[in-house]
């Protein structure tokens, strides 16, 4: 028996077999059941999402011998002939090959005659946007007032090219691009029905490569089964598609998590030695960062069959959420700029170095060296499984912070060498969300192994159980592994965030005074009746 391609064999024959287009199917089914039939339907959408398939099912619903219904019987002669593609009253036209006005006029010459075999004569015009302007003019009058026995079903991938006069005479249905998860599930269902082996990782790769098209996914599955001698295995599908392996990219993220620049460059150059496509490598790196961010924020959204799931979850616990967002943005920009790089390998390497060098505003720079004051040591732990520590005191002396000033005035800065300044130095060595929490906490003292902090009520939302546990782990190298961290919510007098705001305000005032004292600027203001406006310093918790 002749082999039939999966895309043809598994083409839906009923509305309930069409995947992912419920918004279109519901409208059509209700119209059929209620007898609200329009004379012209336009189906638009990208390739392979079901435009022609839905049109053919609609033709079957209209001509089923059991009556016009949303669920054709599939058993009558009309249904069988429609399924076989030999129903005489279904006239299918490929507009891409019949663009001339003479072709359209010839097609419409028989519109006036009644259907030969079925209830309606149906004109299914595929890629209708390819018709010439004269062809549209010839079609327009018939499309506006066709005989009762005629229905027009139009399909196009580019509805913007259709004249508005045609669009206004049709009911328009846009078929959506299918999500990769839905395509993946459908591939696994078809594989089970066909009795072939398709690994979950392979189905995920095929679904991504299909880019929203079910037909493309089934064609790729056919190709994968031929490539793998009747089975679609993850590594073989990756080789067939030319996908970038995720292993080297996980090495890149691991090096970024450890702040190890040498390992980062070495991983990039190993990829260059393997002659990978660096545009695809950046695309896959961005997709991997997205998966890690998803695992970090919504762990349940990462399926058990996700390739390298354990490593992804482990990275999610080591890389700060802010860093992942930055990596994602840098990767997107690097793809855009890649054509301007001296060569793709250099552009890819530079993108990784930007990820390594830059940090969100609250996070101190990575790396280390004798000339990098305030940097954490290379390889320091990241927030999520600990935190990188700048030079911090071995212990914070007990005591109370400086008292606040008179009512309505800010508290005076703490004296140098006080316990509060020591606490600020400890906070400066923390990263990301841990620093955000600690910077709004006032040092409240220590009794034995119990360290007490007082949190500003305005920032109580930062005080989650997970962050408290991670903060305790981050403070353990300073205060001892067996410390007990207690955070109470109450009014604060001087926090590291307040200290930072105080320094920013001082710098602002100094800069304003310097501008006000500038003779040239003062002379310009007098000549032009100008005035200086001060820009307010940033909020506490953000770098000025």
Domain positions in the chain are: 6-174, 180-241, 246-357, 419-544
User: Would you say residue 474 has pLDDT above 70?
Assistant: yes
Residue 312: per-residue pLDDT: 85
- Phi/psi for 90 (5° steps) reads -105, 105
Residue among 476, 429, 470, 433 nearest 451 (CA): 476
Contact 236, 224 (CB under 8 A): yes
Tell me which of 6-15, 284-293, 388-397, 515-524 is least confident.
Answer: 388-397
Residue 373 has pLDDT above 60, yes or no: no
Quick one: pLDDT at residue 349? 93
CATH T-level assignment (fold) for domain 180-241: Helicase, Ruva Protein; domain 3 (1.10.8)
The CATH class given to the 6-174 domain equals alpha beta
For the sheet with 450-455, list strands across it.
441-447, 450-455, 484-489
The per-residue pLDDT for range 41-54, each reduced to its tens digit, is: 999 999 999 999 99
**Reported CATH class of domain 246-357:** mainly alpha
Distances (CA, A) of 482 to 337, 448, 477: 49, 10, 10
User: CA separation (Å) from 17 to 186, 220, 364, 508?
Assistant: 11, 20, 55, 67
User: CB-based contacts of 38: which residues, under 8 Å, 6+ apart?
Assistant: 31, 170, 171
**Residue 241, phi then psi, degrees to nearest 5:** -80, -15
- Looking at 3.30.43, 3.40.1000, 2.60.40, 3.30.300, the CATH number of the domain 419-544 comes to 3.30.300
Helix (H) or strand (E) holding 94: strand 90-94
Amino acid 408: pLDDT: 39
**Closest-CA residue to 202 (of 184, 216, 229, 186):** 184
The 3-class secondary structure across 31-85, one letter per residue, is HHHHCCCCCEEEEECCCCCCHHHHHHHHHHHHHCCCCCCCCCCCCCHHHHHHHHC
Confidence label for 535 from pLDDT (cuts 50, 70 and 90): low
Question: What are 485's strand-pairing partners?
Answer: 451
Q: Do domains 180-241 and 246-357 have the same CATH topology?
A: no
17-50 tens-digit pLDDT: 998 899 999 999 999 988 889 999 999 999 999 9
DSSP state of 339: G
Sheet of 171-174: strands edge to edge? Answer: 90-94, 121-126, 150-156, 40-44, 171-174
Q: Which 3 state secondary structure label does DSSP give 172?
A: strand
Mean pLDDT of 269-298: 89
Residue for token digits 């600990």? Answer: 386
* pLDDT tens string 99-144: 788 888 888 888 888 888 889 999 999 999 998 888 888 888 888 8
Label residue 496 by pLDDT band (50, 70, 90).
confident
CA distance 306 to 234: 11
Residue 361: which pLDDT band, with cuts at 50, 70 and 90?
low
pTM given for the model: 0.58
Q: With left for phi above 0 and alpha for psi between -120 and 50, is residue 45 left, alpha or beta? A: left
Higher pLDDT, 303 or 162: 162
Non-local CB neighbours of 286 within 8 Å, separated by 6+ positions: 328, 331, 332, 335
Range from 336-340, 346-350, 500-504 carrying the lowest mean pLDDT: 500-504
pLDDT tens digits along 233-261: 888 888 888 777 778 898 999 999 988 88
Rounded to 5 degrees, φ, ψ at 475 are: -85, -10
Position 533 confidence tier, pLDDT thresholds 50, 70, 90:
low
**Residue 190 reports pLDDT greater than 90:** yes
What is the per-residue pLDDT for 416? 44
Dihedral sign computed on CA atoms, order 107, 110, 112, 118: negative
pLDDT at 528: 78
pLDDT score of 274 more than 70: yes
E strand or H helix at 496: helix 496-516
**pLDDT band per the 50, 70, 90 thresholds, residue 219:** very high
Q: Between 200-210 and 180-194, two packed helices, what is the crossing angle to 10 degrees?
A: 130
CA gap 50, 20 in Å, rounded = 10
């Amino acid at each position: 028996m002749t082999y039939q391609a999966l895309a043809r064999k598994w083409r839906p024959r009923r509305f309930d077999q069409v995947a992912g287009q419920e918004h279109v199917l519901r409208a059509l089914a209700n119209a059929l059941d209620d007898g609200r039939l329009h004379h012209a339907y336009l189906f638009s959408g990208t390739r392979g999402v079901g435009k022609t398939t839905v049109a053919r099912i609609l033709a079957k619903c209209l001509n089923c011998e059991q009556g016009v219904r949303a669920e054709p019987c599939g058993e009558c002669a009309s249904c069988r002939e429609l399924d076989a593609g030999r129903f005489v009253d279904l006239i299918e036209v490929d507009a891409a090959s019949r663009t001339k006005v003479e072709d359209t006029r010839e097609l419409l010459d028989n519109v006036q005659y009644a259907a030969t075999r079925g209830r309606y004569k149906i004109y299914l015009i595929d890629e209708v946007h390819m018709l010439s302007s004269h062809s549209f003019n010839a079609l327009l009058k018939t499309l506006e007032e066709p005989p009762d026995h005629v229905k027009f079903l139009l399909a196009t991938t580019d509805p913007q090219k259709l004249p508005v006069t045609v669009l206004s005479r049709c009911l328009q249905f846009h078929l959506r691009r299918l999500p990769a998860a839905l395509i993946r599930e459908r591939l696994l269902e078809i594989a089970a029905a066909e009795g072939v082996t398709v690994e979950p990782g392979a189905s995920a790769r095929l679904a991504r490569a299909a880019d929203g098209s079910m037909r493309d996914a089934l064609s790729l599955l056919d190709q994968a089964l031929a490539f793998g001698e009747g089975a679609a295995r993850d590594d073989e599908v990756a080789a067939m598609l030319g996908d970038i392996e995720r292993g080297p990219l996980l090495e890149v993220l691991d090096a970024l998590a450890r702040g190890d620049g040498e390992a980062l460059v070495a991983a990039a150059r190993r990829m260059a030695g393997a002659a990978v496509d660096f545009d695809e490598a950046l695309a896959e790196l961005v997709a991997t960062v997205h998966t890690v961010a998803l695992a970090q924020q919504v762990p349940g959204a990462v399926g058990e069959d996700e390739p390298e799931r354990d490593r992804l979850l482990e990275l999610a616990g080591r890389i700060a959420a802010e860093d992942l967002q930055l990596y994602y943005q840098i990767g997107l920009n690097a793809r855009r700029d890649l054509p301007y790089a001296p060569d793709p390998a250099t552009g890819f390497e530079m993108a990784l170095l930007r990820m390594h060098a830059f940090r969100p505003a609250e996070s101190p720079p990575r790396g280390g060296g004798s000339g990098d004051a305030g940097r954490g040591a290379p390889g320091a732990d990241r927030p999520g499984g600990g935190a990188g520590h700048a030079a911090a005191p071995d212990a914070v002396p007990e005591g109370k912070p400086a008292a606040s000033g008179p009512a309505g005035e800010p508290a005076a800065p703490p004296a140098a060498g006080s316990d509060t300044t020591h606490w600020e130095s400890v906070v400066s060595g923390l990263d990301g969300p841990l620093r955000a929490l600690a910077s709004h906490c006032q040092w409240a003292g220590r009794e034995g192994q119990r360290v007490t902090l007082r949190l500003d009520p305005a920032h109580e939302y930062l005080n989650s159980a997970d962050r408290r546990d991670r903060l305790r782990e981050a403070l353990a190298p300073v205060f001892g592994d067996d410390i007990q961290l207690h955070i109470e919510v109450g009014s604060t007098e001087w926090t590291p965030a307040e200290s930072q705001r105080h320094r920013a305000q001082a710098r602002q005032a100094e800069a304003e005074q310097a501008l006000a004292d500038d003779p040239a600027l003062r002379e310009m203001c007098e000549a032009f009746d100008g005035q200086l406006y001060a820009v307010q310093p940033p909020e506490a918790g953000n770098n000025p």
